Amino acid sequence: MSGNPTIQTMLNRKSIRRYTDQPVADEIIHAIVRAGQQAPFAAQLYSVLLSRKGHHAFGAPLLFTICVDAYKLARIMEKRHWQIVSNDLTLLVFGIQDAALMAENMVTAGESYGLGSCFLGAAPYIAEKIAKQYKLPPRVFPLVQLVMGYPAENPPPRPRYPLEFTLFEDTYPELTDEMVEQAMHQMDEGYLAQDYYRKAGYIIPLEGEREESFDYDNYSWTEHISRKWGQWHRSLDEILSQLEKRGYNISKNSEP
């Protein structure tokens, strides 16, 4: 794999959280988005918003917001004397695929130009705020944001699961305790070796009656991710509210 520059670029990819002040040329920005467009798609159910103004996360010069966009599809269908009757959940599923694939292509394209990037996953929960900022029409839903620029740091790539915990041929295997523990060990020891959470200065606080038993010497990825999905976003109300404000109604009784 080391002889394949595309694969090596992808394997070297990591989130960048410090950037230089060097601006990114328009032709590079256009090339990155154009490369994003060549990702596979269901119906090009996406749009990309760009901001070069203001203070973006980590001091990045560029902030992209990749959106699920059914508004453009509806406009095209109107010209063909059709209207959308597909349910909103189906549109969102395919739109999320389209937008996510485009976003990943943009990251890889940026890396090829020497740019770093970092995804910001909170966009769906501030969708209405983003919509007001960019004057979005209905049915355009911010899926993810992506800051990008020239790196002012060079961290190592972050650990990933063992391949045998990811690639299952023909049938999904029984996950033995040994397989799970091996995957956990690879993730946790990898992050501890990089001293990731100590450098970030961040441990997710415990909620409820659990007593804290971790510090920076043993707090690592599997505990971190368990605290995220074991404590946050219990209710659907917040995300459903953001979707509804953007014109997507997700219920068994909703009509297109």
What separation in angstroms does the CA of 21 have from each of 59, 63, 76, 123? 8, 14, 40, 25
CA–CA gap between residue 116 and residue 118 (Å, rounded): 7
Length of the chain: 256
What is the per-residue pLDDT for 235? 93
In this prediction, what percent of the chain has a pLDDT beyond 90? 93
Residue extents of the structural domains in the chain: 5-154+235-245, 163-231
The pLDDT value recorded for residue 54 is 80
What is the structure's pLDDT at 77? 97
Instruction: Yes or no: say if 13 and 108 are a contact pair by the CB < 8 Å rule.
Output: yes
| pTM confidence score | 0.93
Beta strands in 8-163 (DSSP E): 46-51, 62-69, 116-120, 140-149
Region for 206 from its dihedrals, namely left if φ exceeds 0, alpha if ψ lies in -120 to 50, beta otherwise: beta
CATH superfamily name and code, 5-154+235-245: NADH Oxidase (3.40.109.10)
Task: With beta carbons less than 8 A apart as the criterion, state whether 65 and 49 touch.
Answer: yes
* 46-80 confidence digits (pLDDT tens): 999 999 988 999 999 999 999 999 999 999 999 99
Low-confidence ranges of the chain (pLDDT < 70): 1-2, 252-256
